[in-house]
Structure formats: C-alpha cells, structure tokens
Amino acid sequence: MQEKPKRRAGGRSARHAARADKYALPNLSGPGQTGGQYRPLSTAGVEQIHRTAVRILSEIGMAQVPEIVIDKALEKGCHLNDAGRLCFPPSFIEDVVDGAPKQFVLHGQKPDRDFEVGGDQVYFGTGGAAVQVLDRTTGEYRPSTLKDLYDFARLVDRLDNISWFTRCCVATDMVDPIDLDINTAYAIASGTTKHVGTSFAIGEHVHPAIEIFDHILGGEGAFRKRPFCKVHISPVVSPLNYGEDAVSVMLACIEHNMPINSIIAAQAGATGPATLAAMLAQSTAETLAGLILVNLFAPGHPVIFSNWPFVIDLRTGAFSGGGGEIAVLNAASAQVSKYYGLPTGVASSMTDSKVIDAQAGLEKGLTSLAAGLAGANLIYESAGMMASIMGASFDAFAIDNEMLSYVQRIMRGIEVTEELLGFETIRDAVFGDGHFLGHAQTLAAMERDYVYPEIGDRQTIKVWQDAGATDMHDRARLMVDAILGGPHPGHVSGEADQAIRQNHSILLPRELMKD
C-alpha cells in the first residue's frame, strides 16, 4: 500500500504571490470582440447571393436616378436599359468594392473614444428614430423631445458597452426641419464625447451642423481633422430606386469629410421578397448600389456597408424587429458583407415588446448575440429601443448595456494555453487546501475571465428579500437616476456654447444642461 503523501507546510503564500503576476491580466471582455463564429449561410450560399445581387444591378438596374448620378455613371461605362433604368456592369461593381476602404477610424471628440471599424472586430451602439419615450415617472409612452435626446446621449456616455451614440429618438418638439437637424446635432455632440451619428433632411442642413462641430472642437476646420460624427443616409427606396434627397445630403457630407453609413432597410414581404434568400439578394444589391453612389463622386470615401434586412409579420403587415427571422437575416447580412471585406453594419435588439419584460429580454438577447457572433463590425439599435423601434426607454438602455457585457463575454470564447490550463494549480489544490479559493490563478481569473453584473442579482433568496426584493428594472432605474442626476458633461466650453447659440437657433435651454 502506497504511503499517503504528507501535506506540505509553509511556503504556499509565497508561491501564490510569486505566481500572481504570471496569471494577472486585465478583463478582456469589453467592446471590440472578434466575431464571425456564426455563419448561417454556406460558402456556396454566400456566392449565390453575391452573383444574384450583381445580376440584379446589371440587368434590372436602378430607377428614379438623379441626372447628376446618371451622368457620372455613364462616364464610367454604365448604361440605361430599355426601361430607362441605370445598370452597372459586373466588372464596374467589382472595381468599386475593391477600391472601397476596408478599415478606417471612427473618431470620438477625444482620442480615447476612437475605434477602428473593419476586419473582425465587433462594436455595439445605438440607432433608430423613435417618436415616443417610455416616461420614467408615469410608465406611459409620450412624444420624445430634444431634452430626451440630450439625456439619452448623457446616459450612453457612461455606459461602457455601448461604443457610439446615434440619435435614438426624434425631437418631436422641433417643428421646422432645419431646427430638427441642427438641434439634433447640437444635443448629441453636447451629451457625449463618444462617436455620434445623425441624419439630415436635405444637403443644405449639413454645413450649419459642421459649424457647430467645429466650435465644439475648437475652431474652423477642426471637424475635418477629427470627424466625430457620421451621417446616416438611406440612398435607396426599396425596391431598387434611388432617393434624390439622400444624394444631396451625401454630397454635402463628402465635402466635409464626414463618414457615411449607407443604410438599406427593405422589409421582407413588403418592399422586399418574402423568401429570406431572395430578400438577402435584393438588399445586398441595394446596399451595393449605395456604395456605388458614394464612389461615383468620391472614390475611397469612408462608407459603412449597412445592409439591414427587415421583416414584417406576414399576418398583419406590421414591422417585427424581434423575431428569429430578423436575427438570422442580419447575421447572414454580416456574413455577406464580410465576403466583400467591407466595414459592415446591421441591426439588433429591436424588440416588439412595449414594456421591459421577458419578451424584451428574449428578443434583444438572441438578436444581439446572433449579430455579434456573425461578426458585423457595427451593430445598431442594440440598446434602448422598444415597441418595434417606435419607442425608446432610459431604463432599457441600462439593462441592455449589461446584456451586451454578457454577449461580448460569449463572443470572446475561452483561451487555452499551458499556463491557463493550470496543471500546477490543480496539483496545488489537490495536495494542499483541497480547494482553489485564494489561489493566485483564481484571483487573477476573477478580473480576467469573468464578467460581473452591475444591476443583475446573484444574492441568496434571504439576502435579496431583506434588501427589498427588487427586480432588474428597479435596479436599472436607480442606475439611470444616479447618472442623470449626476454631473452634466462639461466638454463643450462656455465660450464655444455661446458662439454656437449666437449663430444658430439652439432650442435646448442652457439651464437644462447645468448641474
């Protein structure tokens, strides 16, 4: 019979301390995880969709084409077919894709808010044009306002898993279109130093917004050097028509070096085919048409290839943002975009639920995870949206920010190395204390490998009951209260703000922007 090994006395603490540095690493589960693990399409399927998209553009072509676009396209060897539609040769489409930037930086107002878009890195952010807000006092929906938009920006500035802020709601208290566009630009840029995104009704509204951005950054021409805002345009009216206003906005933004997020959002069964494969083919063709539009006038200008295939409930005709079909379509869209090697955007988290409930959690979690694992570079609508993107909620932003921390942890996967396999650690525990609590590897892994909820609950039933038996929504309210009740952003100097207000019709009262 073998003699039982004796427990070794002394020296354990020293050994643990010596190994602490070997295991210690920062938490690596933040924004910018690598995607591409989920591929709903086969390689052959991706190639078939590509070929069909090219055939659509070369044989069916685009209608409602502005003359300025026709002239540019004809110079490049494109042609009008017998129906008067603008058609693009396959070789021309290939040249446009090859010449488009594959990676570029999306700037914040400060360098520490910059991030690179392209490759396999995935970032989650906001989007949308909700016209109602779930009121935090009454619990009822009401029209969204300019102050709401500013406060949403303030909130997102403090939520670490949301990498940029695109206007999530419309300031319905702005009546004049120029007031809407200018005040939207002012509110989002005043509320956060993260990269932001907005839209413009017409091209003439772009220059005043650039003047505001220049003032914020410190002087004329500053935005051109650090373009911290991208424009969201929808250059195509599905099926297969160009939109004239989008062209004027595009040209104005190109002039000021503003990145372009070219969004296609056809709806399967309505403005797009009902079969998912055909829907992908048409929406891919339309997204390529948007890319072509930019490159006809400014080859190499930064463009995000945002193919957002949407879905309607075929029983009612109403948009549905939370189903399995929209999840797999947007994941497949990311896969097709990666085939082209282009910086890509898709949508997720567009729950159809009107309240923060189990349906919202189910739909947001699954659609965000599918988009992230598919490897879309920029995932829009990923926080705060409610009611099939017609509503927005402050408390949902806080909950969704936590959800995204889990999604990013799943995306990160598990690293396997000899050190992390921890043979020595297992031996230490077996022949030592009989557990792993307090071991240097365990302590390091706490910060490196694990994500901990800020508002999720992991207490025992007794402790939870004694603390008031709150749910996640209760704790989200407290988190939002703390952020919105705290200091207001101070990155826009008083001098810059005064200059902006003297030259532009800013309708957000200054007293609502102070502590």
The model's pLDDT over 282-332, given as tens digits with 9 standing for 90+, comes to 999 999 999 999 999 999 999 999 999 999 999 999 999 999 999 999 999
* C-alpha of 235 from chain center: 19
Q: For the residues of 398-453, what is the DSSP string, one character each? A: HHHHHHHHHHHHHHH-----HHHHTHHHHHHHHHTTSS-TT-HHHHHHHHHT----
Determine the pLDDT at residue 9. Answer: 43
- State the DSSP code for 159: -
Q: If you ran DSSP here, which 8-state letter would residue 295 be given?
A: H
Domain parsing of the chain, residue ranges: 1-30+424-453, 96-412
Span 58-106, pLDDT tens digits: 999 999 999 999 999 999 999 999 999 999 999 999 999 999 999 999 9
Q: What is the pLDDT of residue 488?
A: 96
CATH of domain 96-412: 3.20.20.480
Token couple for 432? 């030592």
- Residue 489 banded pLDDT, cuts 50, 70, 90: very high
Task: Give dist(CA 505, CA 508) in Å, integer.
Answer: 9
Query: Model's pTM, two decimal places?
Result: 0.94
Instruction: Specify the DSSP class assigned to residue 4.
Output: P
Q: Please report the pLDDT score of residue 28 as a whole number.
A: 84
Q: Percentage of the chain with pLDDT > 90?
A: 93
- Mean pLDDT, residues 7-21: 44
pLDDT at 164 over 80: yes
pLDDT for 20: 41
What does the pLDDT read at residue 19? 41
Distance from C-alpha of 375 to C-alpha of 345, rounded to nearest angstrom: 10
Beta-carbon contacts of residue 338 (< 8 Å; ≥ 6 apart): 36, 344, 375
Q: Which residues contact 201 (CB under 8 A, 6 or more apart)?
A: 177, 178, 180, 181, 245, 249
Per cent of the chain over pLDDT 70 is 95
pLDDT given for residue 27 in this prediction: 62
Which pLDDT belongs to residue 515?
A: 81
Confidence of residue 26 (pLDDT cuts 50, 70, 90): low
Q: Is residue 55 predicted with pLDDT exceeding 80?
A: yes
Residue 5 has pLDDT above 70, yes or no: no
pLDDT in tens, 189-227: 999 999 999 999 999 999 999 999 999 999 999 999 999
Strands (E), 135-207: 141-143, 164-166, 195-198
Smallest CA-to-CA distance from 228 within 236, 216, 246 is with 216
Condensed to tens digits (0 to 9), the pLDDT of residues 112-162 reads 999 999 999 999 999 999 999 999 999 999 999 999 999 999 999 999 999
**Any idea what DSSP says for residue 203?**
G
- 460-486 pLDDT tens trace: 999 999 999 999 999 999 999 999 999
In a 13 Å sphere around the CA of 175, the CA atoms on its Cβ side amount to 0
pLDDT tens per residue, range 396-437: 999 999 999 999 999 999 999 999 999 999 999 999 999 999
Distance of CA 444 to the CA centre of its chain: 31
Contact between residue 268 and residue 279 where contact means Cβ atoms under 8 Å apart: yes
The CA–CA distances, whole Å, from 440 to 219, 380, 487 equal 51, 39, 39
pLDDT of residue 12: 46
Give the position of tokens 């002239």: 71
Query: What's residue 426's pLDDT?
Result: 96
